[in-house]
Amino acid sequence: MDTRLFSEKFFEKYGNRNEKPVLFFSPGRVNLIGEHTDYNGGYVFPCALNYGTYLLVRRIKGNKIRFSTLNFNSDEEAEIDGLFVNTGKNWINYPLGIINEFLRRDVKLEGLELLYFGDVPNGAGLSSSASIEMVTAVALNELFNTGFSTLELVKLSQRAENEFVGMNCGIMDQFAAGFGKKDHAIFLNCDTLAYENVPVILEDCSLIVTNTNKRRGLTDSKYNERRAECDRAVEHLQAYKPIRNLSQLNTDDIPLLEKYITDPLVRNRAKHVISENGRVLEAVKALKDNNIYRFGELMNLSHDSLRDDYDVTGTELDTLVYEGRRFPGVIGTRMTGAGFGGCTVTIVRTQDSANFMIKLADIYKKKTGLMPDFYQPEIGNGAGRL
Count of CA atoms in the C-beta half-sphere (13 A) of 349: 9
Q: How many residues bind ligand GLA (CB under 6 A)?
A: 10
C-beta closer to ligand GLA: residue 113 or 229: 229
Closer residue to ligand GLA (CB): 21 or 337: 337
Going by their DSSP bridges, the two strands 112-118 and 64-69 should be labelled as parallel
Of 139 and 169, nearer to ligand GLA (C-beta) is 169
Binding of ligand GLA by 67 (CB under 6 A): no
172 is a contact residue toward ligand GLA (CB under 6 A): yes
State yes or no: residue 307 binds ligand GLA (CB under 6 A): no
Considering the rule CB under 6 A, would residue 338 count as an interface residue with ligand GLA?
A: yes
Beta carbon nearer to ligand GLA, 65 or 135: 135
Nearest CB to ligand GLA, comparing residues 113 and 318? 318
CA 350/CA 207 separation, integer angstroms: 9
Closest CA to 136 of 199, 209, 84, 73: 84
Residue 335 makes contact with ligand GLA by CB under 6 A: no
* Span between the terminal Cα atoms of the chain, in Å: 12
Pick from 53, 171, 46: nearest CA to 121: 53
- Under rule CB under 6 A, residue 35 binds ligand GLA: yes
Closest CA to 37 of 237, 270, 235: 270
- Taking the C-alpha atoms of residue 159 and residue 157, their distance in angstroms, rounded to an integer, is 5
The reply on whether position 173 binds ligand GLA by CB under 6 A is yes
**Should residue 42 be labelled a site residue for ligand GLA when binding is judged by CB under 6 A?**
no
Instruction: Give me the torsion for CA of 328, 331, 337, 338, rounded to 10°.
Output: 70
Q: In sequence order, which ranges of the chain are alpha helices (DSSP H)?
A: 3-14, 93-104, 128-143, 150-159, 172-179, 219-237, 254-260, 264-288, 292-308, 315-324, 353-368
Cα 265 to Cα 272: distance, rounded to the nearest angstrom? 11
Task: Work out how close the CB of 102 gets to ligand GLA at its nearest, in angstroms, rounded to a whole number.
Answer: 22
Check if 308 is active-site. Answer: no
Kindly state whether residue 299 participates in binding ligand GLA, applying the rule CB under 6 A: no
Q: Which is nearer to ligand GLA, 44 or 139 (CB)?
A: 44
Confirm or reject binding of residue 229 to ligand GLA (CB under 6 A).
Answer: no
Residue 36 binds ligand GLA (CB under 6 A)? yes
Strand pairing of 184-189 and 43-44?
antiparallel
User: Which residue stretch of 166-174, 191-199, 301-309, 354-362 sits at the interface with ligand GLA (rule: CB under 6 A)?
Assistant: 166-174
CB of 40 to ligand GLA, least distance (A): 9
Catalytic residue among 173, 253, 309, 318: 173
Q: Which of 44, 46, 43 is nearest to 247 (CA)?
A: 43
The residue from 21, 27, 97, 337 that contacts ligand GLA (CB under 6 A) is 337
Catalogue the active-site residues. Answer: 173
Residues in contact with ligand GLA by CB under 6 A are 35-36, 38-39, 169-170, 172-173, 337-338
